[in-house]
Chains A and B, each alone.
Chain A
Amino acid sequence: MLSWESKKIGYTGLLKSTLKLAKKAISNAGIKPDEIGLIVHGGVFREHFRTEPAFATHIQGDLGIHCHGIGIDSRSCFSFDVTDGSCSPHIAIQSIADLLPALPSDYALLCIGDDRPTKHCDWEYESYCVVAVIGLSGEGPRCESISYDNSNLTTNLTTIAYFDKSVKGNNFDNAGTVEFLEQQYSKNFFQGHQNWLSGKHMHEFLQLVNKHDDTLEHCIIDRSGKSTTAKWVF
């Protein structure tokens, strides 16, 4: 991870914030936007519960990264989204690690965050926007491995979007009741609160990065009970 930016955002405006932070992160990484060959966004909630196109394509388009026709030798960028509840950041990092080595570019943009989908949604979450430039080489925290654990998964703890006839608008519902696990922090381990969204998990993790000079395990436990742990080496 060559550079990163994160900040708390309002109910909406994830795209605007992402673009602002992306420009900063790209500049801080000492590269040009056109050197980005892969953009992966991770999150759950999008404005109006949008399903297509991928949010990452809006980021690419508004940053103007390789927004041109396909030539025989032209350079290009590829964009898509991944999601797995609050564990989405780790899935996004892993997807970048999977694909970037096979692409002609050495740099990817990791974007994490959620928008309050509609004004009808009761939004108890704090929304954060996180952007990081990931490189195949260079200085910065290195993600050595990502592990997953589904043993505490409860499959009926789902989140569903639905049309609320009483207000004639779209809302979402978290099924079931969860006794949320609190955040934990020790010398080489950080686990966020179970009710945080993806953006806050990554934001809080990034606040700790500069305080470490060896390793830090970052665990995200989703509302459903499934979890992922990324091992970072500094």
Chain B
Amino acid sequence: MPIDMLGGANHTQLLSFAGFLPETKVETTSFASPSDLPRSLDFVRLTGILAHREVSNGQGSFELAVGAAKKALSRADLDAKDIDLVINCSVSKMDGKLRQHLSPSFATLIANELQISGAQTFDVSNACAGMLTGLMIAESRIKSGQSKYALVVSGEHITPIIDEAKRRNLYLHPRAMASLTVGDGAAAYILGQSEEAGRIIFSEPITMAQFNHYCIGQACKSHLGVQMRTRAKDMQTAVFDNLGNFLKRSIDYMGLKWDKIDHTFSHPTTPKAVKKGKKIAEEMMGEINFLHNNSQETANTASTTHGIQIEISQNSGHLKSEETALLISYGSGIGILAMHFKIPKGVENWS
């Protein structure tokens, strides 16, 4: 199927989204009680994370991603054959045996499982900002007429980094502490064409590469599994020092009015960090209408965090058709970007 590099000028809309969580719930106190941690840290008080979800036997990034994709397809009322672009944005791509998938793209396997035939498939890798990066590429493809319906999906099986951190002596390896803040989960979005302009708008994406060494994820060198080393405090400072200006210029760039944004979702490294970010955002931009800070029981699920947060908000009945939402994303690198969209019609009736 040929894809012209210069296409027409269509508009794009979000047709559906879905968050998907594995059933097993793990309380934070079961693995990070004060007696487990250096200086008897009260990890729950420090982060605001009460619990997270973990995969069951036989589950991995793939199974989670497929679960989210099926839900999003059903909500968009589309058949698999309608999808002509699949982008996967998982950081982990890890199965239940802690093997990391490398090639062909994870998106190819997901499309095959969903019986999406004939779609172009590839992976985008940009840490926790990967999902919004993938959505930005999909939006561009639809806008230029190269694609009609795109599935952007991610499944994150990242909780093995908790085990790795616990196995290490956290007194000697304090940079493993952030590994205790993660959870497993998946998210998917379906994008399609629209006759109405402005249903999806992206900010200018920015990478502050001077901080690219603040969070490194890779295979453990001498043990089974993966590890993450994070200068959590430095990373948070880097983001917060730049958040105000990022929001100011992004809102101008996107042609939005801050007080007209109905719902705001930030990347929840921790619920406590979201609260701190709120203060900075409100000092620069004014009051936020509704900041959704609901990762207390799901933790940081990497690239899938926004999908899971908006799923929780949808389940709670907070979202209405045609309201507007802003997703603010940042990830290791440090990549930062935002997406503003109109909430799909019929969202109140999704199961």
**When A54-B125, A67-B208, A67-B210 are in contact, do A98 and B224 touch as well, CB less than 8 Å?**
no
A209 within 8 A of B: no
A146 touches B5 (CB 8 A): yes
B206 touches A76 (CB 8 A): yes
Least CB distance from B65 to A in Å reads 15
A200 within 8 A of B: no
What is the chain B residue whose CB lies nearest that of A147?
B2
B335 / chain A contacts, CB cutoff of 8 Å: 53-54, 57, 78-80
B241 touches A98 (CB 8 A): no
**Stretch from A1-9, A165-173, A185-193 forming part of the interface with B:** A165-173
B93 / chain A contacts, CB cutoff of 8 Å: 51
Please, how many residues of chain B have a CB less than 8 angstroms from a CB on the other chain?
77
B206 touches A70 (CB 8 A): yes
Interface string of B190-225 (1 = CB under 8 A from A): 000000000000101111111011011111111111
**When A77-B207, A82-B123 are in contact, do A52 and B101 touch as well, CB less than 8 Å?**
no
A224 touches B108 (CB 8 A): yes
**When A51-B217, A84-B123, A170-B219 are in contact, do A222 and B5 touch as well, CB less than 8 Å?**
no
**When A80-B335, A150-B121, A159-B103 are in contact, do A48 and B108 touch as well, CB less than 8 Å?**
no
B204 touches A76 (CB 8 A): yes
A205 within 8 A of B: no
B105 touches A60 (CB 8 A): no
**When A51-B226, A155-B112, A158-B101 are in contact, do A78 and B137 touch as well, CB less than 8 Å?**
no
B120 / chain A contacts, CB cutoff of 8 Å: 148
A77 / chain B contacts, CB cutoff of 8 Å: 206-207, 209
B3 touches A146 (CB 8 A): yes
B314 within 8 A of A: no
Q: State the majority secondary structure of interface residues on B.
A: mixed
B246 within 8 A of A: yes
A68 / chain B contacts, CB cutoff of 8 Å: 208, 210
Least CB distance from B157 to A in Å reads 12
Least CB distance from A230 to B in Å reads 10
A95 within 8 A of B: yes
A52 touches B215 (CB 8 A): yes
B123 / chain A contacts, CB cutoff of 8 Å: 82-84
A161 within 8 A of B: yes
Which of A46, A52, A83 neighbours the largest number of chain B CB atoms within 10 Å of its CB?
A52
**Stretch from B68-76, B126-134, B166-174 forming part of the interface with A:** B126-134
A95 / chain B contacts, CB cutoff of 8 Å: 124, 137
Least CB distance from B153 to A in Å reads 15
B100 touches A160 (CB 8 A): yes
A51 touches B221 (CB 8 A): no
Least CB distance from A96 to B in Å reads 10
A168 / chain B contacts, CB cutoff of 8 Å: 222
A85 touches B219 (CB 8 A): no
B49 / chain A contacts, CB cutoff of 8 Å: none
Q: What are 23 of the A-B contact pairs (CB < 8 Å)?
A: A46-B218, A50-B219, A51-B217, A52-B125, A58-B209, A58-B212, A60-B207, A66-B209, A79-B126, A79-B207, A79-B335, A80-B125, A83-B105, A84-B103, A86-B103, A95-B124, A98-B137, A150-B121, A155-B112, A158-B103, A163-B224, A165-B224, A226-B108
Known pairs A52-B331, A61-B213, A65-B209. 11 more at Cβ < 8 A?
A45-B102, A57-B334, A69-B208, A70-B206, A77-B207, A80-B207, A84-B103, A161-B99, A161-B100, A163-B223, A170-B221
